[in-house]
Chain A
Amino acid sequence: MSTHTEHQTQQGREPLDVNTPGLTRFDIVREGARRDDIEIVHYEPQVAPGTKAERRLVRLVAWFFLLAGLVGTAFLVIYIWWPWEYAPGRGSDKWYTPLLGVTLGLSLLGVGFGILTWGKKLLPKEVSIQDRHEGAVSEDNRTITGQTIVYMADEFGVKRRPLLGISLLAGLVPIGAVAAAPLVGGLISNPHKNNQMFTTGFAPAEGGQRIRLVREDGRPIRPADVSAGGQLTVFPGIEHGISNQHADSPTLLIHLRDEDAQESRRANERVGHGDYMWGNYAAFSKICTHAGCPASLYEQQTNRLLCPCHQSQFLITDNARPVFGPASRRLPQLPIEVDSEGFFVAKSDYTETIGPDFWERP
């Protein structure tokens, strides 16, 4: 069925009686389209029925669907019978996920291309023109709707009785607050509870007991454990000191070489931290003062500590002053010494605030 019709304006067109005998189904379809202001101006099958071209396309679509079914079955077989449980090494279980992905993907692609070919190549092509009714908005309707709304407002009479409006507003504001209160009230949490933003796990225990510096496995550290030029991540030797409960406490203990240590000590003295180092050892917070990542890439040659997240660089021998990148504040230094048993302890807690900066940091 091939139809070419002139696009004509719909105004004044007599609607077709769809019960007229002798109308084809397409006539009814076209009449329906016209009632929605659509004119089908071009409609023709892409392949003539019964031709070789049609049979070939039908076969192609069928192949796509059969391929989808075949690969889909392969997916099920693999899903059920392939050895899937993870085992170390290069076992066949490593092929499980790729095989599932490939079979699932190919079967979906088979369905997809089948449907697409069916739609694109076998269904009749058409060009239809639908009216947008631009500028056809009835001024009357606008007036009626507008006046109705204004009339409704008049019926309320808020203009004549202002007290109603004011009292309603005064009543609704607290109601709105009531709705928000449980959410805000439940979630809100004081950041300064127990002075938590300004203390770390190194704060001396009750009774002034100094906190030991320990390794990841909880063992305390002797000066001889860190060779010159070396560094070690240390934690407060308290319960959960190594866990994320004390995410602000990880500290880098650095054994500086002689000349670097002298420079570092002079820098310490300049800012009144003269007694923060112990021998050639210095300890700095590992939590970057920029965004809180661990600043953990230590370059021995330059004594710079680099944060891998945003590349802030801190010069250890100058009180860990930020020398490049977005950080604006030096890494706090932990005052350390060695206790009577020969292990490193923190003399006191950090004297500066750990971690990312915030508004009320003094």
Chain B
Amino acid sequence: MKRRKFDLAATPGKAAVGIDDRFKVATPLRGLLNKVFPDHWSFLLGEIALFSFIVLLLTGTFLTFFFEPSMTEVVYNGSYAPLRGTPMSAAYASSLDLSFEVRGGLVMRQMHHWAALLFMAAIVVHMLRIFFTGAFRKPREANWIIGSLLFWIGFLAGFTGYSLPDDGLSGTGLRIASGIMLSIPVIGSWLTSSIFGGEFPGTIIISRFFIAHVLLIPALLLALITVHLGLVFTQKHTQWPGPGRTNGNVVGERFFPRYALKQGGFFMIVFGVIALMGGLFQINPIWLFGPYEAWVVSAASQPDWYVMFLDGSTRLMPAWQIDIPLGDGYVIPPLFWPTVVLPGILVGLSTLYPFVEARHLKDYRTHHLLQRPRDVPARTAVGAMAVAFYLVLTLSGANDVIADKFQISLNAMTWAGRVGLLILPPLAYFVTYRICLGLQQHDREVLAHGVETGIIRRLPDGKFVEVHQPLSAQDHDGHGALEYTGWVVPKKMNRLGALGPAIRGFFYPIEKPVDAPVSPGHPPVEPRPERAEISSGSESRH
């Protein structure tokens, strides 16, 4: 048989044909390669959460190789001298070993913790972006609900995670959690007893939290994130209004190759920043807290930041106990309201918001164009109200530290929080609403009268007026004919190209400032110097 000549150049083509014969991928792959994504910096916030999640999976898997989820009592005999000889749970001892005996274990543990904090922070900021730009409107209500569930599941992931080391701080948190479960009317004691396997703390809770933290919750997160991204993919991303952009198209870049490449680079940057934080910034130094003992606590015991708002609400809650005089008497403790009812209301409000807004505005159309926050003052103001509410609670979660550092009475801090919680949100609503109206007004004003030039002219009658640069031809009243399109209106002369760009450089100018033809006091205009890379022979940097 004649030996066929081997053609190296044709190999990839042949392989591709072979693959398509078997798997029929060419057509779906074409659709995948041909996918347009609009680009804007604010669309990257959710990505940070996604990338942090990947880092969490990677570092978390590493940690499971060394962590022992057991509450069996052992006596520590590791290299951290201050705790040697202390009886503690195997979970705490193995967390100490992870930090001291495992090569590179501490940096992994700290990266895991920082990635968790970043994950939650990115989720919150991403949610704010979605909210304030109206990206949750039809047809994206389901994705909004999934997103807000992701926050709460991430919250549970974080709580179960930082409870695992069974140190003095997390054990206190666990005890508060048991108190919260106990406070639920009717079923409280049964629920707590069932979860802890008897009376607090029991001997099983760490292993139960472990399986929840490493399997059940991550699987749920992964499933929801997949659906979340799948919906973004099929519904196509929202976009800002602008030239050529309509509700019926997507203007941007195809996903491959440039957009995907940028995403890859961004992932590496997020990963790198987490690694830097994990190496440089100490977090949760469990060896300083000691093992959990029911009778030990220190001042300034704060949970991770995303739990602090519930800590704050618990601190601000007045001691309103409800007694029900039936039979032996029943109690609803004050702890129930800020820790069970409040989160329940928050979940309900956030998931229902898209429907409430649509109903209120009688707007059941499909929206793919984003709105600038100023253009929807009521929604923006409601959002500001929620942010104010959240901030008061979060700060109240640290009110003992604030009281201590700023020499304020602790009780005054609590009262300030209580009053602030009632007064600041409405105030934030009002102020934000006015600011939105003001910004809207200014946009319309610039469209009608033009951009302020900064040139003051004295009229013959002695009156001073500022010269405006109109943006379009004007009618006989001196009003421009441009309509507001929902996108940025240029408000400075250099936005119109009438002036050179602002001087670059933070501490000192890194290039010669361009002389501006603004006012008579300035030196005459020179032609702009040519940029270095165009001119030949002036290359001095290499």
Known contacts A105-B275, A129-B250; is A358 also within 8 Å of B328 by CB? no
Residue of B nearest to A124 (CB): B258
Whether the Cβ atoms of A134 and B247 lie closer than 8 Å is yes
A13 shortest CB reach to chain B, Å: 16
Number of chain A interface residues as a range: 35 or more
Q: Hey, what's the 0/1 contact readout for B303-318 against A, CB within 8 Å counting as 1? A: 0000000010011111
**Residue among B253, B272, B318 making CB contact with A106, cutoff 8 Å:** B272
Q: Is the CB of A131 within 8 A of B179?
A: no
Is the CB–CB distance between A128 and B254 below 8 Å?
Answer: yes
Q: Mark B237-270, 1 if CB is under 8 A from A, else 0.
A: 0000000100111111110011101101111110
CB-contacts of A105-159 with B (<8 A): 105-120, 123-132, 134-135
Please give, as numbers and ranges, the residues of chain B lying within 8 Å of A130 by CB-CB distance: 34-36, 236, 249-250
Distance between Cα atoms of A51 and B273 in the complex (Å): 34
Q: Is the Cβ of A356 less than 8 Å from the Cβ of B183?
A: yes
The docked-state distance in angstroms from the alpha carbon of A32 to that of B269 is 33
User: Are B258's CB and A129's CB within 8 A?
Assistant: no
Quick one: given A7-B244, A134-B366, A250-B294, are A357 and B265 in contact (CB under 8 Å)? no
- Distance between Cα atoms of A128 and B366 in the complex (Å): 22
* Cα distance, A359 to B188, chains bound together (Å): 7
Find A102's partner among B33, B258, B279 (CB 8 Å cutoff). B279
- Chain B residue numbers with a CB within 8 Å of A248 are 199-200, 294
Q: Please indicate the chain B residues that have their CB under 8 angstroms from the CB of A33 in the complex.
A: 34, 254
B513 within 8 A of A: no
Q: Can you list, as one digit per residue, whether each of B97-138 has a CB less than 8 Å from chain A (1) or not (0)?
A: 000110110110011000000000000000000000000000
* Segment at the interface with A among B170-178, B220-228, B372-380, B447-455: B170-178
Contacts of A52 in B (CB 8 A): 533, 536, 539
A189-B194, A196-B198 are known contacts. Are A358 and B269 too (CB-CB below 8 A)? no
How far does the alpha carbon of A86 sit from the alpha carbon of B178 in the complex, in Å?
A: 36
Q: Does any Cβ of B come within 8 Å of A294's Cβ?
A: yes
Residues of B within 8 A of A296 (CB): 295-297
Asked if B335 and A108 sit within 8 Å, CB to CB, the answer is: no
Interfacial chain A residues near B172, Cβ < 8 Å: 293, 309
A214 within 8 A of B: no
Q: Contact: B261 with A119, CB < 8 Å?
A: yes
Minimal Cβ-Cβ distance residue in B for A130? B36
Interface string of A324-355 (1 = CB under 8 A from B): 11111100000000000000000000000001
A98 to B280, CA, bound (A): 5
**Contact among B186, B258, B271, B334 with A359 in the assembled complex (CB-CB below 8 Å):** B186
* Cβ-defined contact, B249 with A309, below 8 A: no
Cβ of B406 to closest chain A Cβ, rounded Å: 16
Interface residues on B, range: 35 or more
**For window 147-187 of chain B, which residues contact chain A by CB distance below 8 Å?**
172, 175-176, 178-180, 182-187
Q: Are B236 and A356 in contact (CB under 8 A)?
A: no
Q: How far is the CA of A250 from the CA of B176 in the complex (A)?
A: 16
Contact of B175 among A99, A109, A293, A312 (CB under 8 A): A293
As a 0/1 sequence over residues 169 to 196 of chain A, the CB contacts with chain B under 8 angstroms (1 = contact) are: 0000000000000000001111111001
For residue A29, give the distance in angstroms from its CB to the closest CB of chain B: 9
- Interface pair A359/B189, CB less than 8 Å apart: yes
Q: Which of B73-81, B420-428, B502-510 contacts A (4 or more CB under 8 A)?
A: B73-81
For residue B48, give the distance in angstroms from its CB to the closest CB of chain A: 13
* In the assembled complex, A272 has its CB within 8 A of some CB on chain B: no
A127 lies within 8 A of B298 (CB):
no
Q: Which residue from chain A places its CB closest to the CB of B103 in the assembled complex?
A: A84
Contact between B275 and A358, CB atoms less than 8 A apart: no
Q: Which residues of A contact B30 (CB under 8 A)?
A: 32, 35-36
A111→B267 CA distance, assembly (Å): 10
Give per-residue flags for A67-81: 1 if the beta carbon is below 8 A from chain B beta carbons, else 0. 000000000000100
Interface of A is mostly: mixed
Q: Determine, out of A202-210, A219-227, A262-270, A284-292, the stretch whose residues face the partner at the interface.
A: A284-292
Tell me if B333 and A101 are in contact (CB < 8 A).
Answer: no
Shortest distance from the beta carbon of A271 to any chain B beta carbon, whole Å: 17
Chain A minimum-CB-distance residue to B263: A119
Most buried by B among A41, A85, A108, A297: A108
Please give, as numbers and ranges, the residues of chain B lying within 8 Å of A97 by CB-CB distance: 104, 106-107, 110, 279
A111 to chain B, nearest CB (A): 5
CB-based contact B248/A132 at 8 Å? yes
- Does B368 contact A36, Cβ atoms closer than 8 Å? no
A21 within 8 A of B: no
User: In this assembly, does A238 line the interface, its C-beta being within 8 Å of a C-beta of chain B?
Assistant: no
From residue B393, how far is it (CB to closest CB) to chain A in Å?
13
Tell which of A126, A132, A187 has the most Cβ of chain B within 10 Å.
Answer: A132
Q: How far is the CA of A114 from the CA of B269 in the complex (A)?
A: 10
- A residues within 8 A CB of B294? 244, 246-248, 250, 287, 294
Contact A359 B244 (CB under 8 A): no
A116 contacts B301, C-beta separation under 8 Å: no
Across-interface contacts of B348 in A (CB, < 8 A) = none
For window 295-327 of chain A, which residues contact chain B by CB distance below 8 Å? 296-297, 308-312, 322, 324-327
CA distance A134 to B198 in the complex (A): 57
Q: Give the complex CA separation of A96 and B279 in angstroms.
A: 9
* Residue ID in chain A nearest B535 by CB atoms: A52
B321 touches A328 (CB 8 A): yes
The answer on a CB contact under 8 Å between B179 and A290 is yes
Q: Are B280 and A102 in contact (CB under 8 A)?
A: yes
Q: How far is the CA of A33 from the CA of B255 in the complex (A)?
A: 12
Contact yes or no, A56 B36, CB < 8 A: no
Q: Is A22 an interface residue (CB 8 A)?
A: no
A188 contacts B194, CB within 8 Å?
yes
Interface: A243 (CB within 8 A)? yes
Does A58 make an interface contact (CB < 8 A)?
no
Q: Is B292 an interface residue (CB 8 A)?
A: yes
Give Cα distance in the complex from A147 to B138, angstroms.
25
> Within the assembled complex, what's the spacing in Å between the Cα atoms of A246 and B250?
63
* A66 lies within 8 A of chain B by Cβ: no
Residues B34 and A32 in contact, CB atoms below 8 Å apart: yes
Contacts of A99 in B (CB 8 A): 279
- Chain B nearest CB from A99 CB (Å) reads 7
A188 and B193 CA atoms in complex are apart in Å by 7
Which A residues touch B328, using CB under 8 A? 360, 362
Q: Which residues of chain B are near A120, meaning CB under 8 Å? A: 258, 262
User: Closest residue to B273 on the A side, CB-wise?
Assistant: A105
Query: CB-defined interface of B35-59 with A at 8 Å, one 1/0 digit per residue?
Result: 1100000000000000000000000
Q: Which residue of A lies closest to B531 (CB)?
A: A53
Cβ–Cβ contact B268 & A115, under 8 A: yes
Instruction: Given the known inter-chain contacts A100-B104, A128-B254, please indicate yes or no for A309 contacting B176, CB distance below 8 A.
Output: yes
Q: List, in ascending order, chain A residues with CB within 8 A of B192's CB.
A: 191, 358
Distance between Cα atoms of A107 and B276 in the complex (Å): 10
Contact A233 B198, beta carbon cutoff 8 Å: no
In contact, B333 and A294 (Cβ under 8 angstroms): no
Q: Chain B residues near A36 (CB, 8 Å)? A: 30-31, 34-35
Interface check B411, CB cutoff 8 A? yes
Are B258 and A123 interface neighbours, CB within 8 A?
A: yes
List the B side residues contacting A23 at CB < 8 Å. Answer: none
Query: Could you say which of B107, B251, B334, B414 contacts A127, with CB atoms under 8 Å apart?
Result: B251
Contact A109 B335 (CB under 8 A): no
Indicate whether A160 reaches chain B with its CB closer than 8 angstroms.
no
CB-defined contacts of A53 to chain B, threshold 8 Å: 533
Take A291-B335, A308-B299, A359-B189 as given contacts and tell me if A100 and B107 are in contact as well, using a CB distance cutoff of 8 Å: yes
Expressed in whole angstroms, the Cα–Cα distance for A143 and B184 within the complex equals: 49
* Shortest Cβ-Cβ A-B pairs, 10 listed: A101-B279, A112-B268, A108-B272, A116-B265, A105-B276, A250-B295, A119-B261, A115-B265, A357-B333, A356-B179
A-B CB contact pairs (8 Å), 29 listed: A36-B31, A40-B254, A101-B280, A104-B107, A105-B273, A115-B261, A119-B259, A119-B262, A120-B258, A123-B261, A126-B254, A127-B253, A132-B247, A132-B248, A132-B249, A134-B368, A188-B190, A196-B198, A197-B189, A244-B201, A291-B175, A293-B176, A311-B414, A326-B334, A328-B321, A355-B200, A359-B185, A359-B188, A359-B331
